[in-house]
Copies of this chain bind each other. A is one copy, B any other.
Amino acid sequence: MKITAIEEYGLRCMVLLARHGNEDPLTLPEFAEKEGVSAPYAGKLLMILKRSGLVKAVRGRRGGYVLVKPPEEIKLKEIFEALGKPVFSTAHCDKYTGENEICVHSGDCTVKNIWQTFEGFIGSFLERVTLADLVSCDINPPPEPGLRVRQKA
């Protein structure tokens, strides 16, 4: 399981914006310089964030990007949803079908069940952390979560 480049750098752009404040916009060359990436690549990232409604662009001189909402109201989950697919989506089953048109497990799938549960678990984390938490806090691992495992009938 891996974090994609878009997720990594995209999240960093959001952190930069949150730190910078919304007084004046941050420009692509500024993003690029602060993260050590190229300006066109920064442009690609910000465009993705813009299309998801997390940031807005101001064109022309004195332009750049600003957050649409205050960092307190931006959940990590929204950012992840903007930057990539969730771990498990219906697309998942359509993708891993081996050489067949449709997955051999369609219907009753043990692995699908685990991914869905996993997805829910991850979601409960991403729901609880905001961009504001990220820039202003230490975040500690949560206490051991309980996990109910129920035997099949």
User: Which residue numbers of A lie inside 8 Å of B, CB to CB?
Assistant: 1-5, 7-9, 11-12, 15, 34-38, 76, 80, 84-88, 92, 96-100, 103-105, 110-111, 113-115, 117-118, 120-122, 124-125, 128-129, 133-152
Contacts and interface: CB of A to CB of B under 8 A. Distances in A.
| Copies held by the complex | 2
Contacts of A120: 141
A135 B144 CA distance: 24
A2 B85 contact: yes
A68 B150 CA distance: 26
B145 A145 contact: yes
A60 B75 CA distance: 55
B139 A117 contact: yes
B147 A129 contact: yes
A2 B5 contact: no
B117 A137 contact: no
Given A9-B96, A129-B149, A137-B149, 16 more contacts: A1-B84, A1-B122, A2-B84, A3-B87, A5-B96, A8-B96, A15-B111, A37-B98, A113-B139, A117-B141, A118-B125, A121-B122, A125-B147, A142-B145, A143-B146, A143-B148
